[in-house]
C-alpha cells in the first residue's frame, strides 16, 4: 500500500553535532506507528519535520495529494483565541463537522468557554487534543498526548483513538498507551531509524537483540584490530617489507572503530538508604479533611508497614497530593489522627518541580552551592561524576535550571532526591518527562529499595511494576485499598479510575477491603507441590546459571574468537540462552514468593 506520508533520508545538525542521519518515517492509511527513543534523540524534531514545521538540512518528504495532517505539539500556542472553543474550531477544515468541536471539548471535561490564557496544563492539553481530533484527519502526529492528563482522560483517549480511521504516529512514555494503540514501531537511535512491523509490546525484546548484536560486532572488530596489530608488530613481512596495504587496512579498521557511534549512555540510579525505620511507618485513624463542601478524605483508617509500596490513584482534583501530605504529617487533618513511626527519614519528589529555582545552576542544585562535592549515601562524590550518572555533561554544571528541558529537570530532581539518605520515599508523579530507559532503571531501584514507598502516578504500567497495593479514590472522600497493581485493582473493582461501572463477566471476586480493614488473604488456596518444589529449587538453579554465565562471559572476552570462531559462536549463543533462562527463573521465583507471602498474610 502506498504511504500517505513518507519522510526519508532526513539529516539535521545542531551545534555541529548530527541529531538526525538518514532517518525515515513512512505511514500508510490506518496504520498506527509509535516513535520511540531516548530523551534528546530527536523524536519531537523528527515529528515536526514530518508535519512540515521544521526545515531539515536534507530530507525527501512526500504527502499523498489531498491527505490532511494534524500535529499535536507538546506546548500548544493559544495566542489570539478568546475561548477554548474558538481555538478548537480554528483547526477545522472545509466540510468538517462543526459540532464535533464542542462534542470533544465536553467529552474532555471542558465547556468551550475557558480563557486559554488562564487554562492549566491539563486543560490546555485537552483543548489541543480536541483541536487535532475534531477534523478526523487522514494522518495524526501526536507528541506526548497523555502529558498532564489524568487516568480517566487517558483511558477515554485510548478508546477514542482506537475508533478513528486516521493513520497515527505516536510519541509517548506511557507503555500501556503505546502497547494498546501501536501496530508498528520506529526506533530512533543515534540519529538513525529502525522499523519493526510489530507494536510496542515487542519493542524492548527487539531493541535488546539489536544492541546485543551490535556489541558482538564491536567485539569481533576489536579482536580483528588486535590480530592486525599483532601482525604489524611481530609478522615477518611487517618487519621486512612493511606491507602498506595491510597497514592501511589496520588504519581503516581503527577509523571504523573510532567513528562507530556507541549506544547512548544509561542513567545510573542509586538510592542512599538510611537506617531501618520502625516496623510501623504510618498509621491513620479515622482521618478526615475537607475544604468547604469539597470532601477530600472521609474516615480513612490505614496502616503502612515498613517495606510497603502503596500507589495512590484517582482523577485530577480527587486530592491525591493532599492525601500524601496528610499521611506524611505535612498537613493536619480536620479530625482523626496520623501517627508516624520511629526513625523515619523521608525524601519527597514533588510533581511540579517547584523546589527548583530556575536561576540556580545545575551543579549548585546538587551541592547546595559553594562546593564541588555531593554527599551520596554519606560519602562525598565530585559533582561532575554524579552528574554523569544522570546523563548530564560536565559543561552543563553551570546551566541554569530554567534552561533545562522537562526530561532534564526530571532527572535533576531524581539526582537530588536520591542522594539524600531515606527510608521513606514519597514520589508524586515521578515518571513525568522521563524516557522509557530511565523509567526502567527507576523501577529497578524501587524494587531493590528496602524502605517504604508512597507513589502517586497516572502511569498504569509503572504502577503495575512497582506497587504492592493501590489506594484509589471512590469519590466523596472515600478511599479504598486493593492488593496488587493497577491491573489487579481493575479486575477486582470492575472499572478504572473515574470510569462508569461495567459488568464483570469473570467469576465473582471477594469484596475489596476498605482501607481501615486489616489486610486479608486474596485466596484460600495453598501452594501446590510443584509450586513448593519450584520455590525450593529455583534459587539453586539461578545460582548455577549465573556461574555458567560468568564462565561464558570470561570465555568470549578472551581470545576464543581467534582460536576457534565456531566455538565462540556457540558460546555466545549459549550465553544468550543462559541470560534468558536466568531472567525467566528469577521472574518465576518472584511470582511464587509473592504468592506465598500473600497466602500466609
Q: What is the DSSP string of 293-340?
A: TEEEEEEEEEEEETT-EEEEE--TTS-HHHHHHHHTTSS--SEEEEEE
Q: Of residues 418 and 290, which shows the higher confidence score?
A: 290
pLDDT at residue number 599? 73
Mean pLDDT of 507-535: 54
Q: What are the b/e assignments for 158-174, b being 16+ CB within 10 Å? A: beebeeeebbbbbbbbb
Fold topology of 529-600: Helix Hairpins (1.10.287)
Task: Answer whether residue 240 shows pLDDT above 60.
Answer: no
Q: Phi and psi at residue 76, in whole multiples of 5°?
A: -65, 150
> What is the distance, to the nearest Å, from the Cα of residue 520 to the centroid of all Cα atoms in its chain?
32
Query: pTM here?
Result: 0.67
Exposure string for 520-549, b = 16+ CB within 10 A, e = fewer: eebeeeeeeeeeeebbeebeeebeebeebb
What confidence score (pLDDT) does residue 262 get? 47
Q: Which residue has the higher pLDDT, 411 or 322?
A: 322
Counting other chains too, the contacts that 573-577 makes at CB distance below 8 Å and 24 or more residues apart are: 575/549, 576/212
pLDDT band at 51 (very low <50, low <70, confident <90, very high): very high
What integer pLDDT is reported at residue 511 of this predicted model? 45
Distance CA 549, CA 555 (A): 10
DSSP letter at 65 equals: T
Question: Which tens digit of pLDDT belongs to each residue from 488-500?
Answer: 888 888 777 764 3
> Is the alpha carbon torsion for 375, 376, 378, 380 positive or negative?
negative
What is the structure's pLDDT at 23? 93
Specify the DSSP class assigned to residue 190: T
pLDDT of residue 114: 93
User: What residues form DSSP beta bridges with 142?
Assistant: 72, 170
What pLDDT sits at residue 406? 67
3-state SS of 438-503 is HHHHHHHHHHHCCCEEEEECCCHHHHHHHCCEEEEEEECCEEEEEECCHHHHHHHHCCCCCCCCCC
DSSP label at 92?
A: -
Looking at the DSSP assignment, which residues form a beta bridge with residue 7? 25, 61
Give the pLDDT of residue 595.
75
Mean pLDDT of the chain: 81
Angstrom distance (rounded) from CA 311 to CA 241: 72
pLDDT range class, residue 429, cuts 50, 70, 90: confident
From CA 56, how far away is CA 64, in angstroms rounded? 20
Could you tell me the pLDDT band of residue 100, with boundaries at 50, 70 and 90? very high
Return the pLDDT at 293. Answer: 87
Note whether 167 and 139 are within 8 A (CB): yes
The residues, ordered by sequence, that sit 6+ positions from 332 with a Cβ below 8 Å of its Cβ are: none
Domain ranges of the chain: 5-205, 213-259, 529-600
Read off the pLDDT of residues 564-592 as tens digits, 9 standing for 90 and up: 777 877 887 888 788 888 878 877 777 77
496-to-385, 429, 477 alpha-carbon distances in Å: 43, 18, 17
Instruction: Examine domains 5-205 and 529-600 and report if their fold is the same.
Output: no
SS3 173: coil
Q: What pLDDT was estimated at residue 248?
A: 60
Provide the grid cell at 544.
548455577
Q: Computed over its alpha carbons, how large is the radius of gyration of the chain?
A: 27
Residue 501 has pLDDT above 70, yes or no: no
* Residue 476 backbone class (left: φ over 0; alpha: ψ -120 to 50; beta: rest): left
How does residue 54 score in pLDDT terms, banded at 50, 70 and 90?
very high
For domain 5-205, give the CATH number.
Answer: 3.40.50.300
Which residue in this structure is represented by grid cell 564462565?
A: 551
* pLDDT tens per residue, range 366-422: 888 878 888 876 778 898 888 887 778 888 888 888 887 767 777 788 888 778 888
pLDDT of residue 571: 81
Q: What is the pLDDT of residue 560?
A: 72
Amino acid at each position: 500500500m502506498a504511504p500517505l506520508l513518507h519522510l526519508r533520508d532526513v539529516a539535521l545538525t545542531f551545534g555541529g553535532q548530527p541529531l538526525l542521519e538518514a532517518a525515515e518515517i513512512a505511514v500508510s492509511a490506518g496504520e498506527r506507528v509509535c516513535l520511540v527513543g531516548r530523551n534528546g534523540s530527536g523524536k519531537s524534531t523528527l515529528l515536526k519535520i514530518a508535519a512540515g514545521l521544521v526545515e531539515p538540512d536534507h530530507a525527501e518528504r512526500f504527502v499523498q495529494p489531498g491527505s490532511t495532517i494534524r500535529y499535536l505539539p507538546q506546548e500548544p500556542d493559544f495566542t489570539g483565541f478568546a475561548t477554548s472553543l474558538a481555538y478548537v474550531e480554528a483547526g477545522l477544515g472545509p466540510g468538517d463537522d462543526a459540532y464535533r468541536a464542542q462534542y470533544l471539548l465536553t467529552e474532555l471535561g471542558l465547556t468551550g468557554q475557558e480563557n486559554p490564557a488562564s487554562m492549566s496544563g491539563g486543560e490546555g492539553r485537552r483543548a489541543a487534543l480536541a483541536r487535532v481530533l475534531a477534523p478526523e484527519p487522514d494522518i495524526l502526529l501526536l507528541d506526548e498526548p497523555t502529558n498532564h492528563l489524568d487516568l480517566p482522560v487517558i483511558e477515554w483517549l485510548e478508546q477514542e483513538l482506537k475508533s478513528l480511521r486516521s493513520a497515527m504516529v505516536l510519541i509517548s512514555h506511557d507503555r500501556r498507551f503505546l502497547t494498546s494503540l501501536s501496530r508498528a514501531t520506529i526506533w530512533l537511535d543515534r540519529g538513525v531509524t529502525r522499523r519493526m512491523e510489530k507494536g510496542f509490546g515487542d519493542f524492548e525484546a527487539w531493541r535488546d537483540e539489536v544492541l546485543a548484536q551490535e556489541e558482538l560486532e564491536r567485539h569481533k572488530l576489536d579482536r580483528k584490530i588486535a590480530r592486525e596489530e599483532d601482525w604489524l608488530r611481530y609478522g615477518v613481512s611487517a618487519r621486512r617489507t612493511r606491507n602498506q596495504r595491510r597497514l592501511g587496512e589496520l588504519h581503516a579498521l581503527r577509523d571504523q572503530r573510532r567513528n562507530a557511534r556507541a549506544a547512548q549512555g544509561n542513567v545510573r540510579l542509586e538510592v542512599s538508604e538510611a537506617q531501618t525505620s520502625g516496623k510501623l511507618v504510618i498509621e491513620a485513624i479515622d482521618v478526615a479533611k475537607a475544604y468547604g463542601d469539597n470532601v477530600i478524605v472521609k474516615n480513612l483508617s490505614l496502616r503502612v508497614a515498613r517495606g510497603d509500596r502503596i500507589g495512590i490513584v484517582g482523577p485530577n482534583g480527587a486530592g491525591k497530593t493532599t492525601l500524601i501530605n496528610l499521611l506524611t504529617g505535612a498537613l493536619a487533618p480536620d479530625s482523626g489522627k496520623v501517627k508516624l513511626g520511629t526513625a523515619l527519614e523521608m525524601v519527597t519528589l514533588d510533581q511540579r518541580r517547584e523546589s527548583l529555582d530556575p536561576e540556580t545552576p545545575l551543579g549548585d542544585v546538587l551541592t547546595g552551592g559553594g562546593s564541588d562535592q555531593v554527599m551520596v549515601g554519606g560519602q562525598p562524590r565530585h559533582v561532575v561524576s554524579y552528574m554523569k550518572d544522570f546523563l548530564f555533561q560536565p559543561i552543563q554544571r553551570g546551566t541554569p535550571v530554567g534552561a533545562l528541558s522537562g526530561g532534564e529537570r526530571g532527572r535533576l530532581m531524581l539526582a537530588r532526591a536520591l542522594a539524600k539518605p531515606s527510608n521513606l520515599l514519597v514520589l508524586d508523579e515521578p515518571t513525568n518527562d522521563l524516557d522509557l530507559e530511565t523509567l526502567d532503571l527507576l523501577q529497578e531501584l524501587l524494587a531493590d529499595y528496602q524502605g517504604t514507598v508512597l507513589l502517586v502516578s497516572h502511569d498504569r504500567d509503572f504502577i503495575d511494576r512497582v506497587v504492592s497495593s493501590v489506594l484509589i479514590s471512590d469519590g466523596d472522600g472515600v478511599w479504598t485499598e486493593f492488593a496488587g497493581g493497577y491491573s489487579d485493582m481493575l479486575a477486582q473493582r470492575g472499572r478504572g479510575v473515574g470510569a462508569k461501572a461495567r459488568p464483570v463477566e469473570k467469576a465473582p471476586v471477594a469484596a475489596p477491603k476498605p482501607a481501615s480493614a486489616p489486610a486479608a488473604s486474596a485466596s484460600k488456596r495453598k501452594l501446590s507441590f510443584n509450586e513448593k518444589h519450584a520455590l525450593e529449587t529455583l534459587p539453586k538453579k539461578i545460582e548455577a546459571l549465573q556461574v555458567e554465565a560468568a564462565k561464558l562471559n570470561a570465555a568470549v572476552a578472551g581470545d576464543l574468537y581467534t582460536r576457534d570462531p565456531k566455538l565462540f559462536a556457540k558460546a555466545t549463543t549459549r550465553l544468550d540462552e543462559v541470560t534468558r533462562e536466568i531472567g525467566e527463573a528469577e521472574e518465576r521465583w518472584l511470582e511464587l514468593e509473592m504468592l506465598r507471602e500473600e497466602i500466609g498474610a
